[in-house]
Amino acid sequence: VSEDKPAKKAGLQKGDIVVKLGDSTIVDMMSYMRALSVFGEGDKTKAVITRNGEEMEFDIEFK
């Protein structure tokens, strides 16, 4: 999770595992990159992550 990026601003932390981004299920880095590529500046979506075995949902705004 990089500083000043949408994920960091939404509350994601280093070590979080993204399992869903928008409507896309994330299974590997390629599916993550494909899911990420559909969003542009100003778009908003939800991300589902796993942190310490617990599933959490975050709202992300792409800037």
3-state secondary structure string across the chain: CCCCCHHHHHCCCCCCEEEEECCEECCCHHHHHHHHHCCCCCCEEEEEEEECCEEEEEEEECC
The tens-digit pLDDT sequence of the chain (63 residues) is 766 777 778 888 889 999 999 999 999 999 999 999 999 999 999 999 999 999 999 999 988
Q: What is the pLDDT of residue 38?
A: 95
Cβ count within 10 A of residue 11: 14
Q: What is the pLDDT of residue 46?
A: 96
The fold for domain 6-61 equals: Pdz3 Domain (2.30.42)
- The whole-angstrom separation of Cα 28 and Cα 63 is 24
Q: What is the pLDDT of residue 6?
A: 79
Q: 0.95 exceeded by the pTM?
A: no
Q: What is the pLDDT of residue 3?
A: 67
What are the structural domain ranges in the chain? Answer: 6-61
